[in-house]
Amino acid sequence: MSTLPLPYRVGYGEDAHRLAPGRPLILGGVPVPHAEHGAVAHSDGDAALHALADALLSGLALGDIGQYFPDTAAEWAGLDSRVILARALDLVRERGYVPLNVALVVTLDRPKLGPLRSEIARTLAELLGLAPAEVGVSFKTSEGLAPQHVQTRVTVLLGRTDG
């Protein structure tokens, strides 16, 4: 069995939230205008940032964000999910890796997110220290199977900083 650090590692994460009226919907750090419902969550409910943070952690077998930010802890109520992502990114960097590219899929029936694609990619790229072209953002409906549900799935490629 090799003990050499791998030059590349792949990570995968996903997150889902129930949607309810009267709540903001935030995806990838971007507030979605005219959303008729938003995420029911302990934090700000940004399913894209939660899935991305889990993808980063999973790439290095570091567990998941619930271990670092328990959703029972009062101190994390209403938490800005950018804080969660920053923590996951720090843990990855401390171990000598950085994200190289990201592929993210949001499943949401309404509203259409196409008009926000470049803003979400730009925001995620900025948070990760990448170029927008290194952040793929796709949208899918559930075809009406889960109208009160938002889900995000993310893969990330990590590379060692020492080459």
Q: Which residues are annotated as a binding site?
A: 15-17, 42-43, 50, 64-66
The structure tokens listed for 98 are: 């950085």
Nearest distance, CB of residue 106 and ligand C5P, angstroms = 7
15 is an interface residue for Mg ion by CB under 5 A: yes
Which residue, 15 or 104, is less far from Mg ion as judged by CB? 15
- The three-state secondary structure class of 43 is coil
SS3 labels along 74-138: HHHCCCCHHHHHHHHHHHHHHCCEEEEEEEEEEECCCCCCHHHHHHHHHHHHHHHCCCHHHEEEE
Nearest distance, CB of residue 32 and ligand C5P, angstroms = 9
Cis preceding-peptide flag for 111 (omega within 30 of 0): yes
Of ligand C5P, Mg ion, none, which one does residue 108 interact with (CB within 5 to 8 Å by kind)?
ligand C5P
Report the candidate in 112, 95, 129, 89 with the shortest Cα–Cα distance to residue 35: 112
Residues that bind ligand C5P (CB under 6 A): 108, 112-114, 139-141
Q: Which stretch binds Mg ion (CB under 5 A): 9-17, 107-115, 130-138, 149-157?
A: 9-17
Decide if 100 contacts 10 (C-beta within 8 A).
Answer: no
50 is an interface residue for Mg ion by CB under 5 A: yes
Of ligand C5P, Mg ion, none, which one does residue 50 interact with (CB within 5 to 8 Å by kind)?
Mg ion
Nearest distance, CB of residue 132 and ligand C5P, angstroms = 17
Nearest distance, CB of residue 143 and ligand C5P, angstroms = 6
Contacts of 97 (CB under 8 A, 6+ apart): 9, 59, 60, 158, 159, 160, 161
Which residue of this chain has its Cβ atom nearest to ligand C5P in the complex? 114
Binding site residue list for a divalent metal cation: 15, 17, 50
**Where on the chain is the footprint of Mg ion (CB under 5 A)?**
15, 50
